[in-house]
Amino acid sequence: MPIFLDKDDNTRFLDTLTKMKSQGEYTLYAYCLMKNHAHLLLKE
């Protein structure tokens, strides 16, 4: 089952990820978005 229904969902996810990163919530080392899941490599 896809987690991103369209390109807007994908963009919204990346925007949220960027916003949280800029607030210093975590360090994001890498990410990989797939159709039905996402991989995040981060440090709190």
pLDDT, residue 44, reads 86
Q: Is residue 18 part of a domain?
A: yes
Q: Is residue 16 part of a domain?
A: yes
Rounded Cα gap, residues 40 and 33, in angstroms: 9
- The residue that leads in pLDDT, 26 or 13, is 13
- Domain residues for the domain of 36 are 7-43
pTM above 0.85, yes or no: no
Say whether pLDDT at 26 is over 90. Answer: no
Q: Is residue 1 part of a domain?
A: no
Token pair for residue 18?
């960027």
Rounded Cα gap, residues 15 and 13, in angstroms: 5
Q: How high does pLDDT run on average in the chain?
A: 93
Q: Give mean pLDDT, residues 5-33.
A: 92
Q: How many domains is the chain partitioned into structurally?
A: 1
